[in-house]
Structure 1
Amino acid sequence: MSQLLGLIAVGLVIGALARLVKPGRQRMSLLATLLLGVAGAVIGGLIADWLDVGSITELNFWGFLFALITAVLLIGIAEGAAGRRAVPR
Protein backbone atom coordinates (compact mmCIF):
# COMPACT_ATOMS: atom_id res chain seq x y z
CA MET A 1 0.00 0.00 0.00
CA SER A 2 2.83 2.40 0.81
CA GLN A 3 4.41 1.69 -2.60
CA LEU A 4 1.15 2.69 -4.29
CA LEU A 5 0.99 5.94 -2.33
CA GLY A 6 4.64 6.59 -3.15
CA LEU A 7 3.97 5.98 -6.84
CA ILE A 8 1.07 8.43 -6.77
CA ALA A 9 3.20 11.05 -4.99
CA VAL A 10 6.03 10.63 -7.50
CA GLY A 11 3.48 10.78 -10.31
CA LEU A 12 2.21 14.12 -9.05
CA VAL A 13 5.76 15.49 -9.03
CA ILE A 14 6.35 14.03 -12.52
CA GLY A 15 3.18 15.74 -13.77
CA ALA A 16 4.29 19.10 -12.39
CA LEU A 17 7.77 18.70 -13.90
CA ALA A 18 6.33 17.61 -17.25
CA ARG A 19 4.23 20.76 -17.32
CA LEU A 20 7.37 22.83 -16.76
CA VAL A 21 9.44 20.90 -19.31
CA LYS A 22 6.86 20.97 -22.11
CA PRO A 23 7.27 24.16 -24.12
CA GLY A 24 4.43 26.46 -25.05
CA ARG A 25 1.17 27.45 -23.44
CA GLN A 26 -0.83 24.62 -21.96
CA ARG A 27 -4.60 24.74 -21.92
CA MET A 28 -5.03 21.72 -19.66
CA SER A 29 -6.07 22.00 -16.06
CA LEU A 30 -3.52 21.37 -13.36
CA LEU A 31 -5.53 18.34 -12.16
CA ALA A 32 -5.47 16.77 -15.64
CA THR A 33 -1.73 17.40 -15.87
CA LEU A 34 -1.12 15.78 -12.49
CA LEU A 35 -3.26 12.75 -13.40
CA LEU A 36 -1.32 12.34 -16.63
CA GLY A 37 1.85 12.57 -14.52
CA VAL A 38 0.64 9.64 -12.42
CA ALA A 39 -0.11 7.70 -15.62
CA GLY A 40 3.34 8.63 -16.95
CA ALA A 41 4.95 7.41 -13.74
CA VAL A 42 3.20 4.06 -14.03
CA ILE A 43 4.00 3.64 -17.72
CA GLY A 44 7.58 4.89 -17.28
CA GLY A 45 8.09 2.46 -14.40
CA LEU A 46 6.79 -0.38 -16.54
CA ILE A 47 9.12 0.61 -19.39
CA ALA A 48 12.11 0.70 -17.00
CA ASP A 49 11.06 -2.70 -15.64
CA TRP A 50 10.66 -4.07 -19.17
CA LEU A 51 14.13 -2.81 -20.15
CA ASP A 52 15.50 -4.27 -16.91
CA VAL A 53 17.05 -0.97 -15.79
CA GLY A 54 14.70 -0.45 -12.85
CA SER A 55 11.44 -1.49 -11.32
CA ILE A 56 8.04 0.10 -11.05
CA THR A 57 8.24 -0.28 -7.27
CA GLU A 58 11.54 1.55 -6.83
CA LEU A 59 12.59 5.09 -7.56
CA ASN A 60 15.75 5.32 -9.64
CA PHE A 61 17.17 7.55 -12.33
CA TRP A 62 15.97 5.55 -15.34
CA GLY A 63 12.47 5.04 -14.03
CA PHE A 64 12.22 8.76 -13.24
CA LEU A 65 13.53 9.70 -16.69
CA PHE A 66 11.17 7.33 -18.52
CA ALA A 67 8.27 8.56 -16.38
CA LEU A 68 9.04 12.20 -17.19
CA ILE A 69 9.36 11.55 -20.92
CA THR A 70 6.15 9.52 -20.92
CA ALA A 71 4.27 12.22 -19.01
CA VAL A 72 5.43 14.92 -21.43
CA LEU A 73 4.29 12.76 -24.35
CA LEU A 74 0.91 12.05 -22.70
CA ILE A 75 0.36 15.75 -22.03
CA GLY A 76 1.23 16.57 -25.64
CA ILE A 77 -1.14 13.90 -26.96
CA ALA A 78 -3.95 15.04 -24.66
CA GLU A 79 -3.49 18.69 -25.68
CA GLY A 80 -3.42 17.72 -29.34
CA ALA A 81 -6.61 15.72 -29.01
CA ALA A 82 -8.33 18.49 -27.06
CA GLY A 83 -7.15 21.09 -29.55
CA ARG A 84 -8.69 19.22 -32.48
CA ARG A 85 -12.05 18.98 -30.72
CA ALA A 86 -12.06 22.70 -29.90
CA VAL A 87 -11.49 23.86 -33.49
CA PRO A 88 -14.82 24.65 -35.20
CA ARG A 89 -15.22 23.27 -38.70
Structure 2
Amino acid sequence: MAISGIFSALFIGLIIGALGRLVVPGKQRIPIWLTVLIGIVAALIGTFAANALGVGDTRGIDWIELIIQIALAAGGVSLAAGLYGRRHA
Protein backbone atom coordinates (compact mmCIF):
# COMPACT_ATOMS: atom_id res chain seq x y z
CA MET A 1 0.00 0.00 0.00
CA ALA A 2 1.36 3.38 -0.96
CA ILE A 3 1.75 6.20 1.54
CA SER A 4 -1.13 8.08 -0.12
CA GLY A 5 -3.36 5.04 0.45
CA ILE A 6 -2.49 5.01 4.14
CA PHE A 7 -3.24 8.71 4.49
CA SER A 8 -6.51 8.40 2.62
CA ALA A 9 -7.55 5.43 4.80
CA LEU A 10 -6.78 7.47 7.93
CA PHE A 11 -8.67 10.48 6.58
CA ILE A 12 -11.74 8.45 5.57
CA GLY A 13 -11.58 6.58 8.89
CA LEU A 14 -11.53 9.87 10.76
CA ILE A 15 -14.54 11.18 8.87
CA ILE A 16 -16.58 7.97 9.14
CA GLY A 17 -15.66 7.60 12.83
CA ALA A 18 -16.58 11.21 13.57
CA LEU A 19 -19.92 10.85 11.77
CA GLY A 20 -20.59 7.62 13.66
CA ARG A 21 -19.72 9.40 16.88
CA LEU A 22 -22.14 12.22 16.05
CA VAL A 23 -24.96 9.73 15.51
CA VAL A 24 -24.56 8.16 18.97
CA PRO A 25 -26.31 10.27 21.62
CA GLY A 26 -24.47 11.44 24.72
CA LYS A 27 -20.78 11.89 25.41
CA GLN A 28 -18.41 9.13 24.44
CA ARG A 29 -15.24 9.05 26.48
CA ILE A 30 -13.02 7.31 23.97
CA PRO A 31 -9.76 8.63 22.51
CA ILE A 32 -9.52 9.94 18.96
CA TRP A 33 -7.25 7.10 17.87
CA LEU A 34 -10.00 4.63 18.77
CA THR A 35 -12.55 6.69 16.83
CA VAL A 36 -10.28 6.63 13.76
CA LEU A 37 -9.69 2.88 14.13
CA ILE A 38 -13.44 2.24 14.41
CA GLY A 39 -14.02 4.46 11.38
CA ILE A 40 -11.45 2.59 9.27
CA VAL A 41 -12.89 -0.80 10.21
CA ALA A 42 -16.46 0.43 9.63
CA ALA A 43 -15.49 1.86 6.24
CA LEU A 44 -13.91 -1.43 5.15
CA ILE A 45 -16.75 -3.63 6.41
CA GLY A 46 -19.35 -1.22 5.04
CA THR A 47 -17.75 -1.29 1.60
CA PHE A 48 -17.72 -5.09 1.57
CA ALA A 49 -21.34 -5.20 2.79
CA ALA A 50 -22.50 -2.71 0.16
CA ASN A 51 -20.75 -4.67 -2.57
CA ALA A 52 -22.31 -7.91 -1.29
CA LEU A 53 -25.75 -6.26 -1.44
CA GLY A 54 -25.04 -4.99 -4.94
CA VAL A 55 -25.26 -1.27 -4.06
CA GLY A 56 -21.57 -0.48 -3.79
CA ASP A 57 -20.90 0.42 -7.40
CA THR A 58 -23.05 3.36 -8.42
CA ARG A 59 -22.37 6.62 -10.21
CA GLY A 60 -21.51 9.59 -8.04
CA ILE A 61 -21.69 9.33 -4.28
CA ASP A 62 -22.63 5.91 -2.92
CA TRP A 63 -25.19 7.12 -0.37
CA ILE A 64 -26.32 3.65 0.68
CA GLU A 65 -22.73 2.55 1.21
CA LEU A 66 -22.06 5.70 3.23
CA ILE A 67 -25.13 5.08 5.41
CA ILE A 68 -24.01 1.49 6.03
CA GLN A 69 -20.52 2.68 7.00
CA ILE A 70 -21.84 5.36 9.37
CA ALA A 71 -24.27 2.89 10.98
CA LEU A 72 -21.43 0.43 11.54
CA ALA A 73 -19.24 3.20 12.96
CA ALA A 74 -22.06 4.31 15.29
CA GLY A 75 -22.44 0.75 16.55
CA GLY A 76 -18.69 0.44 17.00
CA VAL A 77 -18.42 3.76 18.84
CA SER A 78 -21.32 2.83 21.10
CA LEU A 79 -19.77 -0.55 21.88
CA ALA A 80 -16.31 0.92 22.42
CA ALA A 81 -17.65 3.72 24.64
CA GLY A 82 -19.35 1.15 26.84
CA LEU A 83 -16.32 -1.09 27.09
CA TYR A 84 -13.71 1.69 27.30
CA GLY A 85 -15.74 3.67 29.84
CA ARG A 86 -15.99 0.73 32.25
CA ARG A 87 -12.31 -0.04 31.98
CA HIS A 88 -11.06 3.55 32.44
CA ALA A 89 -13.59 4.92 34.91
Which residue of the other structure, out of 34, 44, 47, is the alignment partner of 1:45? Answer: 47
Give the CA deviation at 1:4.
4.2
Give the aligned residue type for 1:12. L
Structure 1 unaligned residues grouped into runs of 5+: none
Alignment partner of 1:81 is 2:71: no
Distance 1:86 1:29 in 2: 11
Size of the alignment, in residue pairs? 85
Q: 2:54 aligns to what SS in structure 1?
A: coil
Q: What do the CA deviations read for 1:52-76 (whole angstroms, capped 9, x no partner)?
A: 1115xx9511111100000000111
Q: Decide whether the 8 Å contact of 1:48 with 1:63 is kept in 2.
A: yes
Which residue of the other structure, out of 68, 71, 74, is the alignment partner of 1:69? Answer: 71
TM-score (norm 1): 0.77
| Residue number in structure 1 paired with 2:18 | 16
Structure 1 ranges of 4+ moved more than 6 A: none
Give the aligned residue type for 1:62. I
Give the CA deviation at 1:85.
3.2
RMSD: 2.5
* Identical-pair percentage: 35
Question: Structure 1 81/15 Cα, relative in aligned 2: closer, same or farther at 3 Å?
Answer: same
Distance 2:74 2:12 in 1: 15
Give the CA deviation at 1:79.
1.5
| Higher relative contact order, structure no. (Cα contacts within 8 Å, ≥ 6 residues apart) | 2
Structure 2 unaligned residues grouped into runs of 5+: none
